[in-house]
Amino acid sequence: MAQFALLLPHAPDRYSSATEDEMMAIIKDYVAWTEKLTAEGVYKGGHKLNEAGRTVTAGGAEVHDGPFTEAAEILGGIMVVEARDLDHAVAIAKTNPHLKHNARIEVRPIDDV
């Protein structure tokens, strides 16, 4: 078994105008998924990334506040799952509700040196 990172991007304005009720309806899908896969021993953890951040460019001359407004999408969070191989990890990612509420998930093997 190996570990894979699921990178979950979303459009910059995806959640900015959502009401609490809409947010709850979306979040319950994710929580149900996370809880199910945790119980099955597949889900290994994850982090929500705060949207307030900065980009540092080489040389350190430019530090932007909120570099994300011009970006097509921003990385909303990272999840780690355990799978046999990349195909298996992709099959797991396909069940993630992120694909119901957003466009795509990037599945990347975590290098185990």
Minimum CB distance to another protein, residue 71 (Å): 19
Binding track over 3-42 against another protein, x by CB under 8 A = -----------------x--xxx-xxxxxxxxxx-x----
Burial of residue 89 (CB within 10 Å: 0-12, 13-18, 19+) is buried
Burial of residue 11 (CB within 10 Å: 0-12, 13-18, 19+) is middle
Minimum CB distance to another protein, residue 46 (Å): 4
Q: Contact positions toward another protein, by CB under 8 A?
A: 20, 23-25, 27-36, 38, 45-48, 77-79
